[in-house]
C-alpha cells in the first residue's frame, strides 16, 4: 500500500493545544457496522457491558528533556528515549556538531546553560557511542537516572503542541493510573479517564487489567517511505503479567469483549500474541500493523485521532476498516473534533475483515 492513502487535510485549529477543563470532558466518536455516532466520553459507560475487560497501559511519562553544554562548548539538548539501567540511557542529542564517543556532556540542573558556563556545573554524562539514531549515554552521578530525570528534567510534550510544558501539563499529560516510569510520550487514550470514571465502570461490572508499554518518540514520526513495506518501525518495550493474560482468556471464554484503551495497549497485546497464543512476560516490539492484519486479542479499541501518514492511523485503519476510517476522519474534521494527544476520542469496533 502507498503511504499517501493515509493522508488527510487537517486544519491547524483542530489540533488541541491544551487538555479540556476536566478529564473526560471530551467528545467520543463511535464507529460500528459502518455507522458514525457522535457521543460524549461519559457515554462510554453505556457502550461497554458487564463482563467486558478494559486493558489500560500503566506506563508513566518521565521528565526526559534536558539541556546542557558540551565540555568543549556549545549548547545541546538531550531527549531520553529509553532508560537502559540505573545509569545508562539511549537518547537523541541535538548539537551543532555530533559529540563523539568518549566525550562528556554537562546537563543543567537549573534551566538551559549558556555557552561559556562553568565546565564543572551540572550533571556529567559520558557519551559511550551510537546505537542507530540514538546516543548511548552514561550518567556519572551515583543516583539512579530516573531520580535525576525526575529532579532535573522537563516533561516532553509532543512536537505539535506549541507551548513549553506548563503546570497543568505536569498532571494532565499523565494518566491517573500511571505507575511504571519509562515512557517519553503519554498513552493518550488513557488521559480521558479520572478515578470516578474508572470506579463507575467497575461498579457496572466492567473488569480492568493493565499492560505496560513504554511509548517512544517514534510514535510521532510520519511514515516517509513511499510504500508501507519500506518503512522501518521504531522499537518499544512492553510487559504483560500472567494476571492480565488470565483475565483476557476468562473474558473471551465468558463471551465478553477485550477493549484496548489506546493503540499502545493494543500493540502490546498483539505483540505478545504473535506466536498465536497470548504470552505473559517482557518483550520488545517493532510490530507494524497495517490493513490486512488479523487481530488475535482485541475486540474494541478506544483511541484518540492520529496524525496523517502515521503508523497509528494505519493501525486503526487495519482495525476498523480503511473505508470506515476515511469516513470517520472526514466526519471528525467536518464536525470539528479536537485532534491528537489532548483531543477527543474514538471508540472503534473491530471490522469483520480484521477478525482472525
Q: Given a cut of 60, is residue 115 above it in pLDDT?
A: no
Mean pLDDT of 185-197: 98
Q: What is the pLDDT of residue 117?
A: 53
3-state helix/strand/coil string of the chain: CEHHHHCCCCCHHHECCCCCCCCCCCEEEEEECCEEEEEEHHHHHHHCCCCCEEEEECEEECCCEEEEEECCCCEEEEEEEEECCCCEEEEEEEECCCCCCCCEEEECCCCCCCCCCCCCCCEEEEEEEEECCEEEEEECCCCCHHHHHHHHCECCCCCCCCCCCCHHHHHHCCCCCCCEEEECCCCHHHHHCCHHHHHHHHHHCCEEEEEEECCCHHHHCECCCCEHHHCCCCCEEEEECHHHHHHHHHHHHCCCCEEEECHHHHHHHHHHCCCCCCCCEEEEECCCCCCCCCECCCCEEEEECCCCCEHHHHHHHHHHCHHHHHHHHHHHHHCCCCECCCCCEEEEECCHHHEC
For CATH 2.40.10, the residue range(s) in the chain are 65-152
Q: What is the pLDDT of residue 222?
A: 81
Q: Given a cut of 60, is residue 4 above it in pLDDT?
A: yes
Mean pLDDT of 321-349: 97
Residues 40, 28: Cα–Cα separation, whole Å? 5
Confidence of residue 110 (pLDDT cuts 50, 70, 90): confident
Q: What is the pLDDT of residue 243?
A: 98
Q: What is the pLDDT of residue 128?
A: 97
Mean pLDDT of 307-324: 96
Residues 336, 351: Cα–Cα separation, whole Å? 25
Residues 306, 14: Cα–Cα separation, whole Å? 12
Confidence of residue 66 (pLDDT cuts 50, 70, 90): very high
Q: Given a cut of 80, is residue 352 above it in pLDDT?
A: no
Mean pLDDT of 231-249: 96
Query: C-alpha cell of 52?
Result: 467486558
Which pLDDT tens digit goes with each residue over 16-50? 999 999 999 999 999 998 899 999 999 999 999 99
Q: What is the pLDDT of residue 133?
A: 86
Pick the more confident residue, 112 or 173: 173
Which of these CATH numbers, 2.60.40.10, 3.20.20.70, 1.10.287.110, 3.40.1780.10, describes 3-61+168-354?
3.40.1780.10
Q: What is the pLDDT of residue 109?
A: 83
Q: Average pLDDT over the chain, rounded to whole?
A: 94
Taking the CA atoms of 215, 216, 222 and 227 in sequence, report the sign of the dihedral they define: negative
Which pLDDT tens digit goes with each residue over 146-171? 999 999 999 999 999 999 999 999 99
Q: What is the pLDDT of residue 200?
A: 98
68-82, 85-99, 175-189: segment of lowest average pLDDT: 68-82
For CATH 3.40.1780.10, the residue range(s) in the chain are 3-61+168-354
Bridge partners (DSSP) listed for residue 94: 77
Q: What percent of the chain has pLDDT over 90?
A: 87
Strands of the 27-32 sheet, one edge to the other: 35-40, 27-32, 345-349, 300-304, 258-261, 53-57, 207-213, 236-240, 281-285
Q: What is the pLDDT of residue 354?
A: 64
Q: Given a cut of 90, is residue 112 above it in pLDDT?
A: no
Residues 259, 209: Cα–Cα separation, whole Å? 10
Confidence of residue 119 (pLDDT cuts 50, 70, 90): very low
How far CA 120 is from CA of 71, 93, 108, 124, in Å, comes to 9, 20, 11, 8
Q: What is the pLDDT of residue 219?
A: 82
Q: What is the pLDDT of residue 72?
A: 74
Residues 174, 170: Cα–Cα separation, whole Å? 7
Residues with Cβ within 8 Å of residue 32, at least 6 apart in sequence: 348, 349
Please state the pTM of the whole predicted model: 0.93
Q: Given a cut of 70, is residue 199 above it in pLDDT?
A: yes
Q: Residue 179 burial (CB < 10 Å; 0-12/13-18/19+)? A: exposed
**In CATH, what number does 65-152 get?**
2.40.10
Residues with Cβ within 8 Å of residue 318, at least 6 apart in sequence: 289, 290, 291, 292, 293, 295, 354
Amino acid at each position: 500500500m502507498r503511504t499517501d492513502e493515509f493522508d488527510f487535510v487537517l486544519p491547524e485549529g483542530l489540533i488541541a493545544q491544551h487538555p479540556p477543563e476536566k478529564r473526560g470532558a471530551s467528545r467520543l466518536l463511535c464507529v460500528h457496522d459502518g455507522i458514525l455516532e457522535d457521543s460524549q466520553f461519559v457515554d462510554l459507560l453505556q457502550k461497554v457491558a458487564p463482563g467486558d475487560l478494559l486493558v489500560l497501559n500503566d506506563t508513566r511519562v518521565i521528565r526526559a528533556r534536558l539541556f546542557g553544554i558540551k565540555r568543549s562548548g556549545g549548547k545541546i539538548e538531550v531527549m531520553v528515549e529509553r532508560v537502559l539501567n540505573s545509569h545508562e540511557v539511549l537518547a537523541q542529542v541535538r548539537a551543532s556538531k555530533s559529540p563523539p564517543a568518549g566525550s562528556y556532556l554537562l546537563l543543567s540542573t537549573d534551566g538551559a546553560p549558556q555557552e561559556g558556563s562553568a565546565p564543572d556545573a551540572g550533571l556529567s554524562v559520558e557519551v559511550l557511542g551510537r546505537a542507530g539514531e540514538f546516543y548511548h549515554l552514561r550518567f556519572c552521578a551515583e543516583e539512579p537516572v530516573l531520580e535525576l530525570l525526575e529532579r532535573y528534567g522537563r516533561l516532553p510534550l509532543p512536537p505539535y503542541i506549541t507551548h513549553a510544558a506548563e503546570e497543568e501539563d505536569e498532571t494532565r499529560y499523565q494518566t491517573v493510573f500511571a505507575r511504571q516510569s519509562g515512557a517519553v510520550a503519554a498513552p493518550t487514550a488513557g488521559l480521558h479517564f479520572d478515578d470516578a470514571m474508572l470506579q463507575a465502570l467497575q461498579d457496572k461490572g466492567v473488569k480492568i487489567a493493565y499492560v505496560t508499554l513504554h511509548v517512544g518518540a517514534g510514535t510521532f514520526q510520519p511514515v516517509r517511505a513511499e510504500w508501507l513495506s519500506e518503512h522501518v518501525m521504531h522499537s518499544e518495550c512492553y510487559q504483560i503479567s500472567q494476571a492480565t493474560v488470565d483475565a483476557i482468556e476468562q473474558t473471551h471464554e465468558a463471551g465478553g469483549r477485550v477493549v484496548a484503551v489506546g493503540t499502545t495497549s493494543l500493540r502490546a497485546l498483539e505483540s505478545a500474541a504473535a506466536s498465536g497464543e497470548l504470552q505473559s512476560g517482557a518483550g520488545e516490539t517493532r510490530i507494524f500493523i497495517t490493513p490486512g492484519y488479523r487481530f488475535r486479542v482485541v475486540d474494541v479499541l478506544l483511541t484518540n485521532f492520529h496524525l496523517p501518514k502515521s503508523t497509528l492511523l494505519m493501525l486503526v485503519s487495519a482495525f476498523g476498516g480503511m473505508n470506515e476510517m476515511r469516513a470517520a476522519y472526514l466526519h471528525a474534521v467536518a464536525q470539528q473534533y479536537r485532534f491528537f494527544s489532548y483531543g477527543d476520542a474514538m471508540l472503534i469496533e473491530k471490522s469483520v475483515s480484521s477478525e482472525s
